[in-house]
Amino acid sequence: MKFVKAIVPAAVLALGLAVPAFAQSASESMHQAGQDLKSAGSSTVNAAENAGRGTATAVHDTTITAKVKKSLHKDDTTKGQDIHVSTTAGVVTLKGNVSSRETASRAQELTQGTKGVKSVNNELAVSGSSSSSMQ
């Protein structure tokens, strides 16, 4: 009986000390879960913002490409030439074959004068010329 009288208070004391530790651990777990949720929400917002910026850039690039093509089509020197236009982040690339160096230069000049163009990669080749492209 003495043994039981000694064990019961020890067990109660141990249980009393363990409960706050479990409560603290649960509290820390809940706090960490809240932080993880906040981080996930922040990551989702960042992803949405980046997707929006990417879409805006694509729309802007498409607009620039259309303006350059229109400009090349309206110009007497470049009209009817085999010029392909692509735009990435405001950088316009001209590819294809043209009849002369003057035509390639004029295409670059018209492209550089288009609003929103940051730079031009002129990869136009002059037909019948030993030089493969304008740089």
Detail the DSSP E strand segments found in 2-118: 82-88, 91-98
**What integer pLDDT is reported at residue 74 of this predicted model?**
96
Q: What angle do CA 123, 65, 79 make, to 5 degrees?
A: 70
Extents of the domains making up the chain: 2-126
**Which pTM was predicted?**
0.60
Tokens standing for 32? 């960490």
**What integer pLDDT is reported at residue 127 of this predicted model?**
86
Between 28-32, 55-59, 79-83, 108-112, the lowest mean confidence (pLDDT) is in 28-32
Q: Is the pLDDT of residue 125 over 80?
A: yes
Q: Which residues pair with 116 in a beta bridge?
A: none
- Phi, psi values for residue 72, rounded to 5°: -65, -35
- Per residue in 64-106, pLDDT tens? 999 999 999 999 999 999 999 999 999 999 999 999 999 999 9
